[in-house]
Amino acid sequence: MTKSYYYERAGALNRELKQAIPAPTLKRLHVKRPWYHFFVAGRQLLLLILMPILIYHFGDQPLVWIPAAVLQGFVVFSFTVLLHEVVHKCVFNKDSYDLTPKLGLLYSVLSGLARSQFHRWHMDHHFQLGSDTDDPKRAHLSPKRNARWYKFLYCTPALYPIYFRAAKKAQATYEPELLRRIAWERKLSIGFHLSVLGCFLYLSPVFALKAYVLPVFFVFPAAFTLNRLGQHYIIDPDDPAKWSTLIQPNPVWNFLFLWSSYHLEHHYFPAVPFYNLKALNRELGGFFRQRGVEPYSYTRLLKEWFWHNHKPHTRPKAAREAGKVVTGGTYSAAAGQKRV
């Protein structure tokens, strides 16, 4: 693809965004702090190791092993966020030792993905955002059947065949060399996860169920789906400034999702590292208020998605009927949160 659907339509928006934030502030927000990235990555790696140990020793205490299994699922998901940082080169200001590809391979293996596939898939998503056919997420992964039961499948182990089928469709346009690299990386990731599962099964099938099957096949899909709901499912197709959803997460979500809930802000400024996205959100408060960009909580997203059976990549039904954005609250630029 040589043309970008998004950037061809977002020229005026990008100029407006750069005027909304003082240049020195914007420059500061783009500065990478590698030590902070590795602190977060180290913490997630430590949790990835400690949660199975906790489950193994307290497997007879549901009040311990169930929260540990849930957290483990979110931790596995978090490595897709760390991989995402690598894709956008948000780790180093200058990578003198060419560590970025190696980090990408590590994070992709831990999360069960193929690094090269995710990189191509995600960059195509950024360049073709807004397109029904060229954005791979929208074209191949978003639910094509607007039924509650079908949407719920994304929160279950069915997510895996759904995702891999979507990836296969997107790969139809990839170069042979890239396809070979993806195949090798996918075998590496799958081999690693099968090895971990095999070790857990050797220790105890019940332990494997609690420490691997539940986190990876049940919690991970739910975390993935909830995170994705806050990306591009509630938008205004007529306004590029609203082609992503504005989320106002609390500290718990920032911990579980590693600040990836600030997805709208990320699309505005993709080179801002994830630990600066909350500050970027505060700086954009005036812009959001001026443009009428409405914030959502995850509770409200779930209500729209399942209760109201919202159709992906559209405005909420109430907004369409009223011909304006739903008035569920106002955005406070000073507080950086929704007031109800």
What's the burial of 56, exposed, middle or buried (CB within 10 Å: 0-12/13-18/19+)?
Answer: middle
The string over 124-142, giving b where at least 16 C-beta atoms fall within 10 Å of a residue's C-beta and e elsewhere, is bbbbbbbbeebbbbbbbbb
- The arithmetic mean of pLDDT across residues 160-177, rounded, is 97
Reported confidence tier of residue 2, pLDDT bands at 50, 70, 90: low
Residue 314: beta bridge partners? Answer: 234
pTM for the model: 0.92
Q: Which residue range(s) make up the domain with 260?
A: 5-339
What one-letter code names the amino acid at 22? P
Within 91-219, where are the H helices? 100-111, 115-127, 136, 148-153, 159-170, 176-203, 205-208, 214
DSSP 201-234: HHH-HHHHIIIIIHIIIIIHHHHHHHHHHHHHSB
- What per-residue confidence (pLDDT) applies to 248? 94
- Provide mean pLDDT across the span 191-197: 98
pLDDT digits (tens, 9 = 90+) for 52-82: 999 999 999 999 999 999 999 999 999 999 9
What's the number of domains the chain is made of? 1
Q: Is the model's pLDDT at 335 over the cut of 90?
A: no
Question: In the structure, what pLDDT confidence band is assigned to residue 337 with cuts at 50, 70 and 90?
Answer: very low
Residue that the structure tokens 């940082």 belong to: 85
pLDDT at 321: 64
Estimate the crossing angle of helix 62-87 against helix 220-232, to 10 degrees. Answer: 50
User: pLDDT tens for residues 26-60?
Assistant: 999 999 999 999 999 999 999 999 999 999 999 99
